[in-house]
Amino acid sequence: MILKKEKLGSLLDMLAGTATVLVPTAFNAEGGSEGGEKATGFLPYQAGSAVDLGTVKTTRSPKDALLPQTETLYSYEQRGEDVTLTETVNNTNQILFGVRSCDAYSIACLDEVFLTRTFVDTLYYERRLGTLIVGLGCTATERSCFCTSFELDPAVAPGVDIQLTDAGDGYFAEALTTKGTEALDAWKPFLTEGTKPTPAELEFTFKLDTAKLGEQLKTMFEDPYWQDLSMKCLGCGTCAFVCPSCYCFDMSQNNKGSEGYRFRTWDSCTFVDYSMMAGFHNPRPTKMKRLRNRFMHKLCFYQERYGNSLCCGCGRCIELCPVGIDISRVIEDVERVVAHD
Amino acid sequence: MSRIGVFLCHCGTNIAATVDMTRLAEATKELPGVVYVEENKYMCSEPGQQAVKQSIIDRGIDRIVIASCSPRMHELTFRKMLTDTSVNPYMLEIANIREQCSWVHKDKEAGTKKAIDLVRMAVAKVDRNAPLFTSEIPITKRALVIGGGIAGIQAALDIADAGFPVTLVEKEPSIGGKMVMLDKTFPTMDCSACICAPKMNDVGAHPNIEIMSLSEVEEVTGYVGNFTVTIRQKAKYIDYDLCTGCGLCEQKCPSKVTSEYERGLAKRKAVYKPFAQAVPSKPIIDAKNCRKFTEDRCGVCEKLCTVNAIRFDDEDKLVTLEYGAVIIATGYELIDWTSLYGEYGAGAYPDVIDGLTFERIINASGPTEGHIVRPSDGKEPKTVVMIKCVGSRDPHKGKAYCSRACCMYGAKHAHQFLDKIADGECYVFYMDVRAMGKGYDEFYMNTLQDGATYIRGRVAKIYPEGDKYICIGEDTISSKIVTVSADLVVLDTAMEPQESADAIGRLFGVSRDLDGWLTEAHPKLRPVETNTAGVYLAGTAQGPKDIPDCVAQASAAAAKVIGMFCLKALESNPMISVVDEINCRGCGDCVDVCPYKAIAMETVERRENSVWVTRDIAVINSGLCQGCGACTASCKSSALDLLGFTNEQILQEVDALCL
Amino acid sequence: MSNTLASVQETLRQRARTLLEDGTITYLIGWEAGRFEGQTTPLILRKAADVDRLIYNEFCVHILAKYPLSDKNIEGTIGVVVRGCDSRGINLALKDGQIKRDKLYLIGIPCEGMKDARTGQELKKCLQCTHRNPVVYDELIGDAVEDGAKVDRFAEVAQLESLSVDERYDYWAAIFSRCIRCKACRDTCPSCTCRECFTDQAAMGWQGKETSLAENQNYGITRMFHIGERCIECGECERVCPVRLPLMQLNRKIIKDAYELFGEFYAGIDDCTPHPLDHYLLDDVEEFM
Amino acid sequence: MSLEQAVEAPQKTAAEAAEVAEDWRPKILAFTCNWCTYAGADLAGLNRMNYPADVRLLRLPCSGRVNPQFVLHAFQKGCDGVLVCGCHPGDCHYSTGNYFTRRRMLLYRRYLEYLGIEPERFQIRWISGSEAGKFRDTVVDACEAVAKLGPNTKYREEGR
């Protein structure tokens, strides 16, 4: 069934009535300081907000909707001797509208981490249940996109409920899950008959061979390559915070007198105090060890545990790294370094 | 978890009157960490302190909060109390619920709410206190006395007699200050020379006292027990080791200069001793008026000097010495009434003089050998008018305060005048006669019996008529206008601090009050001490007073210094800055801001991430650091913190305030 | 004018080769081309053979002043290519004792101003740059260029100052609400060289780890005040911010006020003058009597 | 860059401050230096002067100890006004402490005003140990000014 583009606004208005609809929107109205550079994210849809489905990839990934940067775990209050704990219950009802394949793949990775292997993160689970993901096939690529290097199909987003494919004046919507089919019924009044168009042929600036990447990385653990690479790294958290699949978090509390709450917040393995332990012991004290660990986890350790790479090839970190450390160049360098010694 | 004991003081009714103590006690019990709350009528009293000590034992308290008067009053008392308990004296915080709460807020509801907040702040802070320990500071057992007036002389003598070396710095060519200028002193009418001169000679001859005349303190560093003072000894152009004080040069010197000491009534030479009994009794050369310097002629004194002690090429010398304690006795100056009181002739009438000039006239060793004569024509005045409170108790034109000594020296002048001038008439215009010392009022009564006429009122105007001066005033008792035609008018003018006291105060960190008098630590608790440890005050530098008070205060200050010098060593201030070595990046910003140069950068070898690294870190000299905290605010990464006022404590206090 | 970018790059490469071969420097910090057209990234050049990777064009936007600090205990010497902004950053590091001068060999290049690879226009920070000629160097490639900002550096600040207090609060609240606390602005700033930043000192109580508006505000405001009076105006904080916060409007405000209050002062012009807040004048402006 | 768009931020802080409890009183924190202003405050007490009970004094050894971060921290935790008081320049017990404070606060005051804090909420005053009257007047004026401005909602943590 086809959703005509001019009907998109009214569909979103309808959906916004039933749930919080998160759509790619520019959030810095004044644009960046460097001229027209826009920063975009999945913001709640209101009538008249600048929806921008054309963005190839948003600056802030849809991960925000499932693993918010800061999330209260529980709150506590002390009266005299006894302490009362109150759990946080968030009944999420949201629709992630316009998720690209790379982001959908990342969400699948997050699902692996938070929902499988015996421990289920209840907060994440509640959010994930309450989230309908509407994928959107890519019609254009950016210079830093290289999702095909990880065998991703820009037209079909893995694990989404409804997949939209651009069909010129509308989007062809098809439900891929039961949840998707139910949701699609509600869209009926806005849909018209139509056949699924063949997805546009996209050309990427580069494609990498990541087949044997995991093993190759293991062999170059002690290579001086990492030393020079990490010299450039500033140790900031930009790559981890813009990455759709990074999920590490730190926990802390905020207390006010005898009451307060404990929360978790994103952490980045490149931060100095990421692995700082009591007594100032730090297993990864130098920038080299931290940066190496980042790439090893992305491209090797995660694969050992879950079978697929944690990098979805979206290229956000390539665009936004202050010093231009480029994961795709690292992957290429692995070939050169491994071949060399 | 800390076990905090909170002790609420009623201070009689001072606090309890406008703060609901029971409600305060209830609220305090709720605070986290508080295990015991007790109210007491007077916390600072013996029973009060005993109650604290007992509850420390009974309830295993490890931190104390006392809600009472200002910490500036009894923080020391309560710290001393804790020295003989298991609690470290610095595990104590004081909530000021008297001076800053009960006394200043009439509304009991608001006062109680504020008291609860203040106690909550103190509890939050004490929860983060850490035990602090003093260390020992060596004492340089040598004293510095600034100012050679009677106060400085007395203090120097007392300290020297106790066996400690003293340096007495005097800005004038001779010690003696204002007292040596006087003729007689009240109430005993001893002649001032009979008291002052012997003391000056004792000072001159005392093995432990080194007099530095014509010298001024230039620079001070260090702290109590270890002051490093640089003194500028101005050029005297005479070698004091050779000079015998024979006075030949003074006789032959051709250039005559008006003598400041004689207040313009007489002349002195360019090479001169200010007065006969000067100590050191050797002359100096006044370069501004000596023809050798001004016109490069003469040099008579050099030719005549039998021991050729004249040194025209002499220069200022800078002497730097270590001192353990300093007594500031810079004295006073009379105000320049001429620029304030146009109605008294603004100095244009030569026979309208101030008290000190009258002292020079009446002084036997003065220019008039004690004969009371008019400065204008040298005739003996028959009628004298004395006007009190000229500049004192007059906030509009002069000073707001009372200069304390003028009522008595006014009465003395009247008594002396009537004594010396057979059929003299003496009119004293006064506002109130303040004769509150021992034997003072009786002295004033004698002056009345001598026939002095005391008229209650101020003289509104003085104008010359012929060679007389018409003084118009109002007698407020009979409320009649009174005019007196006088031959001589003596104004008892106000005292003001010596002009150099401001610089001395700045050098030693001693603040001055609105009128420029050096501020004592506490008028009743610590009258001769200042807020800078090791710096004491004596004499009129601290405020107008008469000679008996100056001498008493000088001996008190000396006793404090001797008390300190008898200690083996001093206890250092434990509330100083500490450096967190791991966090210090060695940028040196703190070194720039430390007023005591207590921080130095040191290159150290440290093992970081299993690699030996050499880097610079800040190191604090715990002796020099006075705990001001300037470095902590300049350190961006909070590597520097101030014990007793750490960042964490202050932030906890702010958080507690906002609950 | 021998300052054409190509000729400078050629001379730079020759110099790099000779310096590496005769061992004056252990390695050179410069730029190399990124994957995409116009993209550059800092280069650590150790071997003379790889000197062709070293480039100098109008897209070298990164400031190199902070990289030698992560190797401050090196036995040899680090070569660094320095323009106006980098050299002021190096001076700042020397002033703050973060590295010894003898561990650095500075190749100075007068800079014409860099361009944004996407838009092709000169970067705003280069338009506002006051010192295009390096202020400290061991050798210079190319002739000096004319100094002085091409546009008014304080225009945006003046515009913001014209707003009302509430409007300004809303303006900054909207901005700080977007901050993701990635600390890129802190880590790229040449004057931010603390070993442990206040924002990581939750135990002491300065700042929590929560990314609430209040914590973001506390982080952004306090960090900028820490370096405001010693900011070399290299514009890196604004360039690297992933969510495009106009951070230069904060430090420019502090610099503008510091000029009015304490007189003009360019941070990093030398490596010895104390920072404005670390010294005082007896007759400073008095407003608090 | 269009400022107007960015200015209508999502939450309108000024409007929310409309409904304020009538018995609301401003909460003002005063960082005072132990040697001068704190002594001046004590003297105001000795002379039984009277001033509103909305100010709380926090004693520090010197005004030089006041880290600007304390001021912002106070506003964030819920203070409506902050005073920083110290000795008159030249009178500092530690000789140079307040010279640095003067410079720091000159800059910080303008900076916070630029960031949206009303200047009346953050004041700095030199008050010596004998100026009890000046201390009382400073406190009375500050309480009045801050009371007129109402509770401070800017830079304040939620729930404070």
pLDDT at position D5 is 40
Lowest mean pLDDT among A278-282, A283-287, B102-106, B312-316: A278-282
Interface of D with A in 77-136 (CB under 8 A): none
Radius of gyration of chain C (CA): 20
Cβ contacts of D21 within 8 Å, gap of 6 or more: none
In eight-state DSSP terms, residue A194 is -
**In terms of domains, do B224 and B292 share one?**
no
Provide the CATH number for the domain around residue B600: 3.30.70.3270
Using alpha carbons, select from C44, C49, C52, C43 the residue that is nearest to residue C21: C49
- Is the peptide bond prior to B187 cis by the omega test (within 30 degrees of 0)? yes
pLDDT at position A341 is 67
Token duo for residue B206: 């005392």
Q: C5 pLDDT exceeds 80?
A: yes
pLDDT at position B509 is 77
pLDDT at position D1 is 35
Render pLDDT for B439-449 as a digit per residue (tens, 0 to 9): 999 999 999 99
Beta bridge partners of B310: B238
The phi and psi torsions of C237 (rounded to 5 degrees) equal -55, -40
Q: Where are the beta strands (DSSP E) in B213-314?
A: 215-223, 226-233, 256-258, 267-269, 271-272, 284-285
Q: Which class for B228: exposed (0-12), middle (13-18), buried (19 or more C-beta within 10 A)? A: middle
**In terms of domains, do B413 and B447 share one?**
yes
C-alpha span between B367 and B381 (Å, rounded) = 16
C-alpha span between C16 and C18 (Å, rounded) = 6
Cβ contacts of B632 within 8 Å, gap of 6 or more: B577, B638, B640, B641, B642, B647, D65, D67
User: Tokens 């110290």 correspond to what residue?
Assistant: D86
Render pLDDT for A133-185 as a digit per residue (tens, 0 to 9): 999 999 999 889 999 999 999 988 899 999 999 888 889 999 999 999 998 88
In eight-state DSSP terms, residue A297 is I
pLDDT at position A80 is 74
Q: Please, which pLDDT band fits residue C2 given cuts at 50, 70 and 90?
A: low
Render pLDDT for A193-217 as a digit per residue (tens, 0 to 9): 888 888 878 888 888 888 889 899 9
Given an 8 Å threshold on Cβ–Cβ distance, is C182 in contact with A28? Answer: no
pLDDT at position A28 is 66
Among B531, B626, B633, beta carbon nearest to D66: B633
User: Please, are residues B637 and B585 in contact by the beta-carbon 8 Å criterion?
Assistant: yes
**In terms of domains, do B177 and B29 share one?**
no
CATH classification (class only), D28-149: alpha beta
Render pLDDT for B599-649 as a digit per residue (tens, 0 to 9): 999 999 988 877 888 899 999 988 778 899 999 999 999 999 999 999 999
Q: A122 pLDDT exceeds 70?
A: yes
**Collapsed DSSP state (helix, strand, coil) of residue C285:** coil
Task: Among C96, C195, C207, C222, pick the best mutation site for testing chain B contact (most B Cβ within 10 A).
Answer: C195
The average confidence (pLDDT) of chain B is 92
**In terms of domains, do B478 and B514 share one?**
no
| Range B539-549 average pLDDT | 95
The structure's pTM equals 0.78
Using alpha carbons, select from B290, B41, B327 the residue that is nearest to residue B160: B327
pLDDT at position D19 is 60
Beta bridge partners of B34: B4
Q: Is B128 on the interface with C (CB under 8 A)?
A: no
Domain range enclosing B57: 4-126
Cβ contacts of A127 within 8 Å, gap of 6 or more: A65, A66, A90, A92, A94
pLDDT at position A280 is 78
**Single residue among B529, B550, B570 that ends a domain in this structure:** B570
Q: Which residues of D touch A29 (CB under 8 A)?
A: 2, 5-6
In eight-state DSSP terms, residue C138 is S
Q: Please, which pLDDT band fits residue A30 given cuts at 50, 70 and 90?
A: low
Q: Where are the beta strands (DSSP E) in B22-91?
A: 34-40, 63-68
The average confidence (pLDDT) of chain C is 91
Report CA-CA distances (Å) from B144 to A164, A339, B208, B415.
92, 82, 12, 39
pLDDT at position D20 is 67
**In terms of domains, do B164 and B23 share one?**
no
Domain range enclosing A75: 2-340
Beta strands B332-334 and B495-497 are: antiparallel
Task: Indicate whether B115 belongs to any domain.
Answer: yes
Q: Number of structural domains, chain B?
A: 5
Given an 8 Å threshold on Cβ–Cβ distance, is A280 in contact with B582? Answer: yes
**Single residue among B126, B155, B190 that ends a domain in this structure:** B126
pLDDT at position B217 is 96
Share of chain B above pLDDT 90, in %: 77
Q: Which residues of D touch A37 (CB under 8 A)?
A: none
User: Please, are residues B278 and B176 in contact by the beta-carbon 8 Å criterion?
Assistant: yes
C-alpha span between B189 and C116 (Å, rounded) = 94
Render pLDDT for C139-194 as a digit per residue (tens, 0 to 9): 999 888 888 888 899 999 999 999 999 999 999 999 999 899 999 999 999 999 99
Quote the minimal CA–CA distance from C12 to chain A in Å. Answer: 20
Q: Where are the beta strands (DSSP E) in chain D?
A: 28-33, 55-60, 81-86, 122-126
Render pLDDT for B109-142 as a digit per residue (tens, 0 to 9): 999 999 999 999 999 999 999 999 988 889 999 9
Given an 8 Å threshold on Cβ–Cβ distance, is A286 in contact with B609? Answer: yes
**In terms of domains, do B294 and B256 share one?**
yes
Q: Please, which pLDDT band fits residue D3 given cuts at 50, 70 and 90?
A: very low
**In terms of domains, do B400 and B424 share one?**
yes
The phi and psi torsions of D103 (rounded to 5 degrees) equal -65, -45
Beta bridge partners of B328: B146, B537
Render pLDDT for B486-520 as a digit per residue (tens, 0 to 9): 999 999 999 999 999 999 998 887 888 878 999 88
**In terms of domains, do B117 and B69 share one?**
yes
The average confidence (pLDDT) of chain A is 89
Render pLDDT for B379-396 as a digit per residue (tens, 0 to 9): 999 999 999 999 999 999
Task: Indicate whether B651 belongs to any domain.
Answer: no
Render pLDDT for B217-226 as a digit per residue (tens, 0 to 9): 999 988 889 9
Given an 8 Å threshold on Cβ–Cβ distance, is C96 in contact with B614? Answer: no
Given an 8 Å threshold on Cβ–Cβ distance, is A256 in contact with D160? Answer: yes
Interface of C with D in 124-183 (CB under 8 A): 156-157, 159-161, 163, 165-175, 177
pLDDT at position A130 is 92
Q: B311 pLDDT exceeds 60?
A: yes
Report CA-CA distances (Å) from B210 to B145, B168, B204, B215, B313.
10, 6, 8, 12, 24
Quote the minimal CA–CA distance from C204 to chain B in Å. Answer: 5
Q: A27 pLDDT exceeds 80?
A: no
Subunits with 3+ C-beta pairs closer than 8 A to C: A, B, D
**In terms of domains, do B45 and B19 share one?**
yes
Token duo for residue B656: 């507690």
Given an 8 Å threshold on Cβ–Cβ distance, is C193 in contact with B585? Answer: yes
**In terms of domains, do B295 and B366 share one?**
no
Render pLDDT for D42-92 as a digit per residue (tens, 0 to 9): 999 999 999 999 999 999 999 999 999 999 999 999 999 999 999 998 788
Interface of C with A in 52-71 (CB under 8 A): 62, 66-67, 70-71
Token duo for residue B399: 């000073």
C-alpha span between D19 and D151 (Å, rounded) = 10
| Range A243-266 average pLDDT | 91
User: Please, are residues A19 and A94 in contact by the beta-carbon 8 Å criterion?
Assistant: yes
Q: Which residues of C touch D111 (CB under 8 A)?
A: 221, 225, 228, 253-254, 257
Using alpha carbons, select from B181, B191, B166 the residue that is nearest to residue B329: B166
Share of chain C above pLDDT 90, in %: 73
Residue of C nearest to B581 (CA): C195
User: What is the value of ipTM here, to two decimals?
Assistant: 0.90
Task: Indicate whether B659 belongs to any domain.
Answer: no
Q: How many Cβ atoms are within 10 Å of B591's Cβ, its own excluded?
A: 17
Helix (H) / strand (E) element for B469: namely strand B468-475
